[in-house]
């Protein structure tokens, strides 16, 4: 799958090195390693696993590694996103939530889940998202007031009240949610995006926050591919976003049936080429942080008719 996100290569350090013992003379070449600033700089080359391993070597290293600035740097570096305006949780918690292998179907509906792939991270600077089932050379903001009319005429619509900040995007493959598990062979592709803090919230963990279908649209003709994209409206015309519309650079060639994905600083898109079919059913799901809360997760699901 095509990706923008690439993890920085870790720099290994010798775990036996520690702050200067009292018997080392001040002029020793090891004197600099008692400098916290030096080790802070070194720690910024390590991934989360290596940081935790370093923290277990001594109380001194534990104190240094658990500094918020270390985990903030690691999180923004490995996700390749700009710093958000504010966060409600510690950066070590955010890092764990992003990189511990969790995904939304691991919490619920595990029996329906088949496979998943991490696409990467992007940011919402504005509370407006453009959701679309079509990928073209460009997209425009639909003007119709009725959501059904927007979907029928444009295959897209604008979603308000998005929680700003860092979002994580995954591609999920699940079984048809309305068929018997033992007999149904149907599968569904889902572009699954969530705010980085979602899994840490009590409302999500307790199951009081649920997904709601806010729109549905049938494509009553053979579809070449199952596509979906999410854009921050504020950055729709950014040069970085234009990479999404350069389909030849990431969408699979004909008869390549593997799912593909592309992520930009403020957008994400997926596409899977399809064999001859009778059309698609596309559904848009959102999860709010409570009844009147901000939208903290978005799903675009696509299933063959």
Residue-wise pLDDT tens digits, 141-159: 777 667 777 777 778 889 9
User: Which CATH number belongs to the domain containing residue 72 in this structure?
Assistant: 1.20.1280
Residue among 47, 48, 65, 52 at smallest CA distance from 8: 47
> Distance (Å, rounded) from C-alpha 135 to C-alpha 287?
24
Indicate if 273 and 294 belong to the same structural domain.
yes
Indicate if 184 and 94 belong to the same structural domain.
no
| Residue range(s) defining the domain that contains residue 81 | 1-100
Q: What is the pLDDT of residue 115?
A: 92
Indicate if 198 and 114 belong to the same structural domain.
yes
Indicate if 61 and 176 belong to the same structural domain.
no
Q: Of the candidates 100, 132, 158, which is a domain's last residue?
A: 100
Indicate if 165 and 279 belong to the same structural domain.
yes
- Contacts of residues 26-29 at CB distance under 8 Å and 24 or more positions apart, as own/partner, are none
Helices 68-79, 36-43: axis angle to 10 degrees equals: 20
Domain count, the chain: 2
Q: Which residue has the higher pLDDT, 147 or 183?
A: 147
Indicate if 92 and 121 belong to the same structural domain.
no
* Residues whose CB is less than 8 angstroms from the CB of residue 210 and which lie 6 or more positions away in sequence, other chains included: 287
Helices 91-99, 48-55: axis angle to 10 degrees equals: 130
Indicate if 34 and 168 belong to the same structural domain.
no
Q: Of the candidates 47, 77, 100, which is a domain's last residue?
A: 100
Distance of alpha carbon 180 from the chain centroid: 30
pLDDT at 96 over 90: yes
Pairing of the two strands 129-132 and 156-159: antiparallel
Q: Of the candidates 100, 119, 146, which is a domain's last residue?
A: 100
- Contacts of residues 151-155 at CB distance under 8 Å and 24 or more positions apart, as own/partner, are 151/215, 151/217, 151/282, 152/217, 155/217, 155/282
User: Which residues in the chain belong to E strands, given as ranges?
Assistant: 113-124, 129-132, 156-159, 165-175, 187-195, 211-219, 225-232, 260-264, 267-273, 280-288, 295-304
Among 6-15, 40-49, 230-239, the range scoring the smallest mean pLDDT is 6-15
Q: pTM, whole model, 2 decimals?
A: 0.83
Indicate if 163 and 40 belong to the same structural domain.
no
Indicate if 149 and 218 belong to the same structural domain.
yes
Read off the pLDDT of residues 241-285 as tens digits, 9 standing for 90 and up. 999 999 999 999 989 999 999 999 999 999 999 999 999 999 999
């Amino acid at each position: 799958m095509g990706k923008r996100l690439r993890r920085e290569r870790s720099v290994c350090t010798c775990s036996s090195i520690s702050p200067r013992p009292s018997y080392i003379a001040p002029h020793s070449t090891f004197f600099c390693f008692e400098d916290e600033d030096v080790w802070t700089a070194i720690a910024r080359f390590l991934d989360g696993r290596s940081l935790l391993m370093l923290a277990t070597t001594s109380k001194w290293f534990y104190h240094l590694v658990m500094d918020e600035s270390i985990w903030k740097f690691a999180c923004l570096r490995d996700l390749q996103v700009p710093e958000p305006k504010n966060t409600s949780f510690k950066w070590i918690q955010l890092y764990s939530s992003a990189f511990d292998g969790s995904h939304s179907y691991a919490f619920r509906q595990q029996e329906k889940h088949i496979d998943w792939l991490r696409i990467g991270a992007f940011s919402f600077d504005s509370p407006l998202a453009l959701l679309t089932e079509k990928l073209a050379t460009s997209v425009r903001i639909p003007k119709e007031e009725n959501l059904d009319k927007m979907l029928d005429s444009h295959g897209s619509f604008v979603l308000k009240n998005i929680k700003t900040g860092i979002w994580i995007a995954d591609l999920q493959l699940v079984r048809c949610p309305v068929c018997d598990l033992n007999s149904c062979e149907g599968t569904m592709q889902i572009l699954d995006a969530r705010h980085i803090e979602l899994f840490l919230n009590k409302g999500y963990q307790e199951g009081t926050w649920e997904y709601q279908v806010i729109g549905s649209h049938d494509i009553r003709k053979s579809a070449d591919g199952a596509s979906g994209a999410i854009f921050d409206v504020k950055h729709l015309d950014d040069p970085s976003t234009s990479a999404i519309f350069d389909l030849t650079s990431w969408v699979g060639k004909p008869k390549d049936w593997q799912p593909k994905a592309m992520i930009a600083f403020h957008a994400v898109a997926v596409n899977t080429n399809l064999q001859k079919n009778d059309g698609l059913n596309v559904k848009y799901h959102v999860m709010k942080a409570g009844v009147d809360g901000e939208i903290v997760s978005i799903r675009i699901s696509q299933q063959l008719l």
